[in-house]
């Protein structure tokens, strides 16, 4: 039976940028909004979990000098090494399963941990295990940035996502990143209206899909 690591390695070997993160306008919009959620201070040390080919990592180099990048695909990690401008920075790339954060030294805490488009790929028990590992690696008053699609059988509902994260972290900020209808991105000007009615309508309109970002802080 093919494991999740094999699936991701196969995807990345099949073609570069399999989710069009570098090319799609909607993806640039999503990543810019995520970056805006954390771009209010610098961070001594940053961990990018599920870094892929390093697109968001390149943004993170603007906020800190010490960055650790982890992905389960060796192909993605090799591409990230070549795409991230690490001049003047301490950037470390690790090919590892995020379910096994023991590869990271628990004594070296992080001020910011990014976990984008990752949690929903895991079984529920593994999600809790990952959140436990993140909590262990996060420095006091450190931030954790999540992003995920909500609504739909394969993903979280918004309440499930907030409950899962809120069990271990205090939610500091929640932001709609993108809303898509029939695969097309809905302009930002309509997000307020869509948010107020859309989470209800999305239960009935299967082509309506939200992407949200959550910034949380370690509980005291």
Q: Dump pLDDT digits (tens) for 137-152.
A: 999 999 999 998 886 5
3.30.428.10, 3.40.50.1820, 3.30.420.40, 3.40.50.150: CATH of 4-14+40-175+213-218: 3.40.50.150
pLDDT band at 1 (very low <50, low <70, confident <90, very high): very low
Q: What percent of the chain has pLDDT over 70?
A: 83
The tens digit of pLDDT for each residue in 13-41 reads 998 999 889 988 888 888 999 999 999 99
* Owner of token pair 């301490």: 90
How is the chain split into domains, by residue range? 4-14+40-175+213-218
Write down the pLDDT at residue 63. Answer: 97
Is residue 92 scored above 90 in pLDDT? yes
Mean pLDDT of 104-108: 76
Query: Cα separation of 179 and 26, whole Å?
Result: 10
Task: Work out the mean pLDDT of the chain and round it to a whole number.
Answer: 85
* Owner of token pair 């930002």: 188
Q: Please check whether residue 32 is in contact with residue 52, taking contact to mean a CB–CB distance below 8 angstroms.
A: no
Write down the pLDDT at residue 75. Answer: 96
Output 128 or 138, whichever has higher pLDDT. Answer: 138
Is residue 42 scored above 60 in pLDDT? yes
Write down the pLDDT at residue 202. Answer: 53
Q: Please check whether residue 95 is in contact with residue 75, taking contact to mean a CB–CB distance below 8 angstroms.
A: no
Output 212 or 152, whichever has higher pLDDT. Answer: 212
- The burial class, CB within 10 Å (0-12 / 13-18 / 19+), for 154 is exposed
Cα-Cα-Cα-Cα dihedral sign, residues 18, 51, 98, 132: negative
Output 218 or 195, whichever has higher pLDDT. Answer: 218
Write down the pLDDT at residue 72. Answer: 94
């Amino acid at each position: 039976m093919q494991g999740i690591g094999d699936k991701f390695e196969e995807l990345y070997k099949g073609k570069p940028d399999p989710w069009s993160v570098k090319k799609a306008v909607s993806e640039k919009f999503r990543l810019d909004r995520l970056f805006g959620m954390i771009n209010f201070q610098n961070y001594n040390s940053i961990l990018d979990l599920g870094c892929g080919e390093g697109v968001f990592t390149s943004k993170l180099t603007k906020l800190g000098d010490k960055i650790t990048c982890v992905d389960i695909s060796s192909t993605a990690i090799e591409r990230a090494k070549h795409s991230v401008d690490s001049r003047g920075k301490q950037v470390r790339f690790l090919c590892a399963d995020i379910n096994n954060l023991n590869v990271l030294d628990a004594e070296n805490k992080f001020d910011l941990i990014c976990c984008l488009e990752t949690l929903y790929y895991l079984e529920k028990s593994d999600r809790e295990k990952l959140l436990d590992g993140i909590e262990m690696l996060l420095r006091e008053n450190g931030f954790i940035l999540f992003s995920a699609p909500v609504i739909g059988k394969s993903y979280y509902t918004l309440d499930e996502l907030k409950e899962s994260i809120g069990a271990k972290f205090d939610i500091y900020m929640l932001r709609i990143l993108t809303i898509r209808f029939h695969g097309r991105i809905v302009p930002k000007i309509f997000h307020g209206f869509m948010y107020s009615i859309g989470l209800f309508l999305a239960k009935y309109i299967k082509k309506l899909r939200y992407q949200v970002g959550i910034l949380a802080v370690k509980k005291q």
